Amino acid sequence: MIVAVTGANGFIGSQLCRALIHSGHRVRALVRTSSDLHSIQQLPVEPVIGDVRDEQSLHAAFDGCNVVFQTAAIVSFWKPLHALQHEVNVHGTHNVVTAALRCGVGRLVHTSSIAALGHAEDGLLADETTPFNWDASQPGYKKSKHDAELEILHGIGNGLDAVIVNPAVVIGPGDVHFNGGDFIRSVSRGFVPFYIRGGANIVFVEDVVRGQIAAAEKGEKGERYILGGENLTHRQIFQTIAQIVGKPEPRIPLPVAAVKVAARVFDLIGVATGKKPMLTSELTAGAGLHNWYSSAKAERELGYTITPFQKAVELTYRWYKEMKLL
Spell out the domains of the chain, with CATH numbers in brackets. 2-238+290-322 (3.40.50.720)
One-letter amino acid at 131 equals P
- pTM for the model stands at 0.95
Tell me the C-alpha distance between 18 and 9, whole Å: 11
49-60 tens-digit pLDDT: 999 999 999 999
Across the range 63-78, mean pLDDT stands at 96
Neighbours of 131 (CB within 10 A): 7
Question: Parallel, antiparallel, or unpaired for β 107-111 and 26-31?
Answer: unpaired
> Is pLDDT at 136 greater than 90 in this prediction?
no
Residues 6+ apart with CB under 8 A from 8: 14, 16, 17, 27, 29, 30, 31, 40, 45, 47, 71
At 137 the pLDDT is 77
CB 238 within 8 A of CB 250: yes
pLDDT at 90: 98
Confidence (pLDDT) at 326: 87
Q: What is the pLDDT of residue 121?
A: 80
35: pLDDT strictly greater than 90: no
What's the pLDDT at 192? 75
Quick: pLDDT tens for 187-246: 998 867 888 999 999 999 999 999 999 999 999 999 999 999 999 999 999 999 999 999
d(CA 277, CA 284): 12
Who wins on pLDDT, 136 or 260? 260
Write the pLDDT tens digit of every residue in 246-291.
Answer: 998 888 899 999 999 999 999 999 988 999 888 899 999 989 999 9
Average pLDDT, the chain: 94
Model pLDDT, residue 28: 98
Q: In the prediction, which pLDDT does 297 show?
A: 98
CA–CA separation, 6 and 51 (whole Å): 8
Q: Which pLDDT score is estimated for 143?
A: 96
Which of 80-84, 104-108, 121-125 is predicted with the least confidence, judged by mean pLDDT? 121-125
pLDDT for position 206? 98
CA 42 – CA 40 distance, rounded (Å): 6
Q: What is the pLDDT of residues 299-316, one digit of tens each?
A: 999 999 999 999 999 999
Above 80 in pLDDT, residue 292? yes
Closest CA to 113 of 73, 171, 80, 77: 73
What's the pLDDT band for 131 if we cut at 50, 70, 90?
very high
From the CB of residue 288, how many other CB atoms can be counted at a distance below 10 Å? 18
